[in-house]
Amino acid sequence: MLYREAGDYSTSYPEDSQTFPIKFDRYRYYVILAVAFLVIPFFINDYWANAVLVPFLIYSIAAIGLNILTGYCGQVSLGTGGFMAVGAYACYKLMTSFPEISIMIHILLAGGVTAAVVTLFGLPSLRIKGFYLAVSTLAAQFFLVWMFNKVPWFYNYSMTGMIGSPERTVLGIVVTGPATDAWAKYMVCLIFVTFCAVLARNMTRGSVGRKWMAIRDMDIAAEIIGVNPLMAKLSAFAVSGFFIGIAGALFFSVYLGAIEVTEAFGIEKSFLVLFMVIIGGLGSIFGSFAGAAFMVLLPVLLKNLLVGGLNWPTDLAQHLYFIIAGGLIIIFLILEPHGLAQLWRVAKEKLRLWPFPH
């Protein structure tokens, strides 16, 4: 997997080791950043922010987190929903206990708390492997959701058992609570997405990432060439937990504002994020974005088409959504088991030679 192209020369070491060594990729990255930061905030409205863009950005972070664990380190996790709940509740407790500290710091700290919890649940991975591990992460999922439901300290003894995010500002702009503007929500999420994606990208191409991949490909062989499986596996769990915690905190504080834990962070969330990772492509940061976009857009499109376009009842549209989503997942897995990222790679290869096939 040599990430270089003919005709694209580097003349110094820093140039050779930058995040995107290929010129085309680098410019594409700059253009996307420029559009995301400078164009979209001026055109965004409530519908687009709440239905498409904000969930897309938040799920991207969660998908990157799970991709690090499952795609790069090979440890299948079905506990993503529960781990997102840890992020959300950590953020809530921090927001209500220390109102004078900035929400941005709270979200980062919530990521840290989640990292610690996920590492704890990652400990059995040293002995349990494969599907046994996947099923044992379900223990985390069910236990955590149950705990947030039953221990009143977590929801500050409120009567409903729900948690709601109080209004907080960053640089004088309201970012949480019902009075938030669409663009403010979008910008907060975008800042975190950029931060996480850059971090993830650089980690996965450095020595940490290579250790993860060695463990994924064959853990005994990796151990023999000198990778410490304890450190490699637990660091993957910790980093993945950090991202998933940030996603959970944003999901609660910025996107929804008020949540009920069994509804918002049930097992469906775990599967949803896992679908994003698999459809996007295991072991690819771009794939996480592609998968998140696909899984967020699909229900919106179907709903607009069936309920808005054909006037069918919503429950029927819901059943059809299940059929179509399930069918598409199977079709995708059959046609391209390596996900949208691989599709993109293949398309690039084809276009490079086009129209002359040799």
Partner 1 sequence: MPDQVLFAAEVMLNGLMAGVLYSLVALGFVLIFKASGIFNYAQGVMALFAALTLVGIMDGQVPFSHLINAIFGTNIHHFGWHTPALLAIILTIMVMVLFAWLVQRFIFRHLVNQEPIILFMATIGLAYFLEGVGDLMWGSDIKKLDVGIPKGMNETIESITHGAFGYGFFIDNLDIFATFVAVILVAILVCFSQYTKQGRALRAVADDHQAALSVGISLSYIWILVWSIAGFVALVAGTIWGAKSGVQFSLSLIALKALPVLMLGGFTSIPGAIIGGLIIGVGEKLFEFLVGPWIGGATENWFAYVLALLFLVFRPQGLFGEKIIERV
What amino acid is encoded at 29 in this protein? Y
Interface mask toward partner 1 for 85-124; x: CB under 8 A: ---------------------------------------x
Contact 90, 109 (CB under 8 A): yes
Does the protein bind partner 1 through residue 136 (CB under 8 A)?
Answer: yes
For residues 323 and 38, give the distance between their C-alpha atoms in angstroms, rounded to a whole number.
39
Distances (CA, A) of 168 to 95, 100, 172, 257: 9, 9, 9, 11
How many residues at the interface with partner 1, by CB under 8 A? 50
CB-wise, 101 or 135, nearer to partner 1? 135
Greatest CA separation for the chain: 70
Helix (H, G, I), strand (E, B) or coil at 59: helix
Comparison of 79 and 111: residue with beta carbon closer to partner 1: 79
| Binder among 51, 120, 139, 182 for partner 1 (CB under 8 A) | 139
| CB of residue 228 to partner 1, shortest distance in Å | 17
List the interface residues with partner 1, window 337-356 (CB under 8 A): 337
Q: Which helix (H) or strand (E) holds 169?
A: strand 169-170
Among 76, 103, 113, 189, binds partner 1 (CB under 8 A): 76
Q: Which is nearer to partner 1, 27 or 143 (CB)?
A: 143
36/138 with CB nearer partner 1: 138
Provide Rg for the chain, Cα atoms. 21
Q: How far is CA 115 from the centre of its chain?
A: 14
Residue 316: CA count within 13 A, CB half-sphere: 8
Residue for token digits 């897309």?
A: 56
User: Which of 52, 128, 182, 298 lies at the binding interface for partner 1 (CB under 8 A)?
Assistant: 128
Helix (H) or strand (E) holding 324: helix 314-335
Using CB under 8 A as the binding rule, whether residue 178 contacts partner 1 is answered as: no
Nearer to partner 1, 297 or 324 (CB): 324
Contact residues: partner 1, CB under 8 A: 70, 76, 124, 127-132, 134-136, 138-139, 142-143, 145-146, 149-151, 218, 220-221, 224, 267, 271, 274-275, 278, 282, 312-313, 315-316, 319-330, 333-334, 337
